[in-house]
Amino acid sequence: MTSADAPRPQLKIRLIHLDTGRENVAVMSRRSKALRPEVFSGFSRVEIRRNAKSVLATLLITDDDALVGPDELGLAEPAFRRFGEPAGTFVTVSPATPPDSLDAVRGKIQGRTLSAAEITAIVNDLTRYRYSDMEIAAFLIGAARFMTSDELLALVSAMASVGTQLRWDRPIVVDKHCIGGIPGNRTSMILVPIVAAHGLTIPKTSSRAITSPAGTADTMEVLARVDVSVAEMKEIVAACNGCLIWGGHVNLSPADDILISVERPLCLDTREQMVASIMSKKLAAGSTHLLVDLPVGPTAKVASALDAMRLRKLFEFVGDHFGIAVETITTDGRQPIGNGIGPVLEAQDVMAVLGNDPKAPADLREKSLRLAAHLLEYDPHLRGGAGYARARELLESGAALKQMQKIIDNQGPSTCHKDLGTLTAEVTAERDGVVSAIDCLQLNRLARTAGAPIDKGAGIRLFKKVGDRVEAGEPLYRIYAFDPAERELAVAAAKLACGYTVDDAQTFREQVM
Amino acid sequence: MTSADAPRPQLKIRLIHLDTGRENVAVMSRRSKALRPEVFSGFSRVEIRRNAKSVLATLLITDDDALVGPDELGLAEPAFRRFGEPAGTFVTVSPATPPDSLDAVRGKIQGRTLSAAEITAIVNDLTRYRYSDMEIAAFLIGAARFMTSDELLALVSAMASVGTQLRWDRPIVVDKHCIGGIPGNRTSMILVPIVAAHGLTIPKTSSRAITSPAGTADTMEVLARVDVSVAEMKEIVAACNGCLIWGGHVNLSPADDILISVERPLCLDTREQMVASIMSKKLAAGSTHLLVDLPVGPTAKVASALDAMRLRKLFEFVGDHFGIAVETITTDGRQPIGNGIGPVLEAQDVMAVLGNDPKAPADLREKSLRLAAHLLEYDPHLRGGAGYARARELLESGAALKQMQKIIDNQGPSTCHKDLGTLTAEVTAERDGVVSAIDCLQLNRLARTAGAPIDKGAGIRLFKKVGDRVEAGEPLYRIYAFDPAERELAVAAAKLACGYTVDDAQTFREQVM
């Protein structure tokens, strides 16, 4: 089907200013001089070639010569960038033969167990953007049905192999990862300076928000540059024992970036996929000891102790196989951690904790110390059980703050705006009582609607947490935004569902009992 | 999230000349005056509203003011058509709340059995284009995992309810359906005139090709108009007892059209989905008696007698529930039926059989008579067992040809080109021997590559069938095309895999034994 030698008309490529995200998209004229576009419609995907170089793309048709003429082939921005040839280059277009690895995807849908070679081929084709969105969804849903232990190991291994692989010449490289879902919860920015100040190596890479109002990388970016190269990262870690940078820039797991971008809109989040995503990144990052934070709560990703245990066993199994010492810790995931939701507000919480500000959120401080204590125990020279005291000592003495300042200096200054949103709105309690529940999902959504993480200073500041007494009309939280339309959208959404449940004190006491 | 009352900037809609098929696509400027597009990226889908009217769409971003300015919202052709408002209309745009029925899709992926109400909601949202491609794929793959009997019945019922529902005031309305996959095989165009000439009612609707080189509607279109309205269809059937029209134009199962367009590129074809697709259309078409043709062969959709039996049971179960008398018949699906592949070539085969031409393909004639015999037995006035003799009598007497001419006259003249492709190429045997196998999938693909069904006269004429002796260099088939590039592509593909297996006579005899 794709004999490159057959003589056939060529088209000149042209950049179409459309951002189509992960999917490659090509645009052809309905009067195309190469092949008639109707011929392609049954094939749904086309292969664009110049000599040995090729990309697969989804084809759209146009009647507008101003967009794409009959002797042209339009490539949307991502496809143009990935093809890497200048505008005007002549290319051939043919119906795409689907990637061979799609046979394995179909097998998976039909319930077959895949070999390591098949899983590697799928991951390689995914990473080379040879799958359409539908095909990625097919793999994820097929794999969501069941995945054997061997398949999971093969997936972790394949995902860890397609990107950058960091190696450190130190015997202990510690790392901490939270499975996410809890607003606020910026413990990494507190425990990394504590652990680094102690002297352990902790080269932390974090993600940017995808569907949440802030990732650790978004929040750290308020304080310092986070898009550093692999070479710079190594220098920073050599100087500071640790860093707090964006993992996407060092390309640790390109396959994971693609899979997550399809999992999120479909709300697919199986245990196996979660473990594959995290462990492949840690394997690529060269971590030797990993602490996984599993928040448990009704609106958290893990809803029960049983689910947490299953997840723990899976992390341990994969960790043992690849020689990473994995420990999991279940934490309180019933409500946000800290008071801020959104990059600037969260950065304020973090700096208040590091600065030993008496008004700093106690839950964020306590949780960070607890996690840091676990990490410090990986130091063979520390007396067993001394982790917590050591973590608190490093925090209270100001050593952690000093280490954070050093990390910030080494990563370089941030260029983003640090102001808080100037348009605010307070959401108030409708009745007297006690806050009995806070919906993490709804608060995430509201903060995003208000503009976070695009606007660093947009988000939500909480005034009340679970167990606090409130009076009717008293503010529960304040929304910060810059854009009037976004403020209105967030206020309207909060009116429909504010995310807080307020019960009378008696009912709340009964619930707690 | 979507309070329509909130005051926020509006955008003027603008048509973007892009054919995005089934998916709604909107384009927004990176400098949009309404909401910043980055805010939407995490939501992936947007809702576009004017008063009570709304559509959901996938959002693309552009930097090109000539395409979409900061105060505009571009709508690709299908979304513009479905929204139904003129260019320049002011609309609001907000992050889309996913359709509620997606919760049920997620439940299905996780292995839950869905209620009839949930399945109805999914089908309704699908048909209103509220699902993205990924979401449609998620439903199909989730349902491919397992589907209970009750779920299947609910799906058939929901799919039959969302489109046109035909009712006939006759006690017996017969129909025949082939599950497809076999090139040629245009039995409907022979048995409909036979059955109609006998006096039974057979209002046949057929599909156009999606990934095959011709559907019955494409082939019939060589002889007559097939895109007739429901009112015209009723007149034609009143005059002729039957018709041969395109089902898509009378909108019998819009949900099926959408599901199939995602199933095909993913090659999903479970028994349940096949039965739901066919039975929902027959239920909507008002059929009382249905004969289902199940070709069995190594490259057919049904590979074994066991698979055929399972499919039969499922057809019978659904037919019994909805009061349609269903009969299945397994037929030889090891190779194409007739000699032509492609609309004009297949129409020639059909007219040769109806005209009792001695050179007409015997396999097409025999199979059509066999199926017609079954259908005629539904006539209570016909003596049991007399169906075949009656079918042959109607064919040989010319009554069937006369009835076909009447149907063609009533449907009206075709406007399409009827010439055979002027660019030809013969594919020859590489060795002496006997044709032992023909790959239906590969021949379909070659005929499509040559231009069928877009070019009615493109396709393949077979000179040899299974069991025929051939000599090295002797032609196996001839490719017909109009476009030099398509001819070259088809020839190159045939060089890689011609679709024929030629063995020595001894080996072939052993295989047959």
DSSP assignment of B122-168 equals: HHHHHHTT-S-HHHHHHHHHHHHH---HHHHHHHHHHHHHSS-----
Average pLDDT over chain A, rounded to an integer: 92
pLDDT band at residue A343 using 50, 70 and 90 as cut-offs: very high
Whether B480 contacts B450, CB under 8 Å: yes
pLDDT band at residue A35 using 50, 70 and 90 as cut-offs: low
Q: What residue ranges do the domains of chain B occupy?
A: 11-95, 102-146, 174-247+288-411, 423-512
Q: Which of A107-111, A325-329, A411-415 is least confident?
A: A107-111
pLDDT, one tens digit per residue, over A216-258 is 999 999 999 999 999 999 999 999 999 999 998 898 889 998 8
Phi, psi torsion values for B14, nearest 5 degrees: -145, 140
How far is the C-alpha of B293 from the C-alpha of B191, rounded, in Å? 13
Residue A229: what pLDDT? 95
Residue A1: what pLDDT? 37
Whether A301 contacts A292, CB under 8 Å: no
A269 is catalytic: yes
Query: Could B492 and A1 be called an inter-chain contact, meaning their C-beta atoms sit closer than 8 Å?
Result: yes
Query: Could A61 and B210 be called an inter-chain contact, meaning their C-beta atoms sit closer than 8 Å?
Result: no
Residue B486: what pLDDT? 87
Candidates A229, A217, A9, A1; CA nearest to A99 is A1
Residue A33 has pLDDT above 80, yes or no: no
Residue A30: what pLDDT? 86
Q: Which residues on B lie below 8 Å from A110 (Cβ)?
A: 144
Instruction: Tell me the β-bridge partners of A433.
Output: A470
Whether B446 contacts B332, CB under 8 Å: no
Q: Does A74 touch chain B (CB under 8 A)?
A: no
Omega cis (within 30) before B183: no
- What CATH fold (topology level) applies to the domain A174-251+282-411? Pyrimidine Nucleoside Phosphorylase; Chain A, domain 2 (3.40.1030)
Nearest chain B Cα distance for residue A63, angstroms: 6
Burial B39-52 (b: 16+ CB within 10 A, else e): bbbbbbbbbbbbee
- The minimal CB distance from B39 to the residues A44, A45, A451 is found for A451
The pLDDT of A475-489, averaged and rounded, is 93
Residue B41: what pLDDT? 56
Successive 10-residue mean pLDDT values, chain B, 513 residues: 51 92 88 70 76 89 90 94 94 84 90 95 93 88 89 97 93 95 95 98 91 92 96 97 93 88 78 94 96 94 93 96 96 96 98 98 97 97 95 98 98 92 96 95 93 93 96 97 90 95 87 73
Candidates A263, A114, A115; CA nearest to A180 is A263
Q: Which of A2, A8, A17 is the best residue to mutate to test the B interface, defined by the most B CB atoms within 10 Å of its own CB?
A: A17
- What CATH fold (topology level) applies to the domain B423-512? Aldehyde Oxidoreductase; domain 3 (3.90.1170)
Please give the C-alpha separations between residue B388 and each of A161, B367, B401, in angstroms, as whole numbers: 65, 11, 17
Residues 466-505, chain A: which have Cβ within 8 Å of B?
A: 483-486, 488-489, 491-493, 495-496
The pLDDT of A404-417, averaged and rounded, is 95
- The minimal CB distance from A3 to the residues B262, B265, B492 is found for B492
**Catalytic annotation, pick one of A71, A133, A150, A269:** A269
B423-512 and B11-95 share a CATH fold: no
Phi, psi torsion values for A56, nearest 5 degrees: -100, 145
pLDDT band at residue A61 using 50, 70 and 90 as cut-offs: confident
Nearest chain B Cα distance for residue A76, angstroms: 10
Q: Which residues on A lie below 8 Å from B210 (Cβ)?
A: 42
Residue A6: what pLDDT? 45
Going by the DSSP 8-state scheme, the letter that residue B184 receives in this structure is B
pLDDT, one tens digit per residue, over A151-165 is 999 999 999 999 999
Architecture of the domain delimited by B174-247+288-411: 3-Layer(aba) Sandwich (3.40)
Residue B46: what pLDDT? 87
Query: Could A20 and B60 be called an inter-chain contact, meaning their C-beta atoms sit closer than 8 Å?
Result: yes
Residue A8: what pLDDT? 59
Q: Class of A11-95 per CATH? A: mainly beta
Following DSSP, what letter does each residue of A300-331 receive, concatenated?
SSB-SHHHHHHHHHHHHHHHHHHT-EEEEEEE
Phi, psi torsion values for A70, nearest 5 degrees: -65, -25
Residue A466 has pLDDT above 50, yes or no: yes
Query: Could B265 and A44 be called an inter-chain contact, meaning their C-beta atoms sit closer than 8 Å?
Result: yes
The distance of Cα B266 from the centroid of its chain, to the nearest Å, equals: 15
Residue A40 has pLDDT above 50, yes or no: yes
How far is the C-alpha of B215 from the C-alpha of B179, rounded, in Å? 12
Residue A359 has pLDDT above 80, yes or no: yes
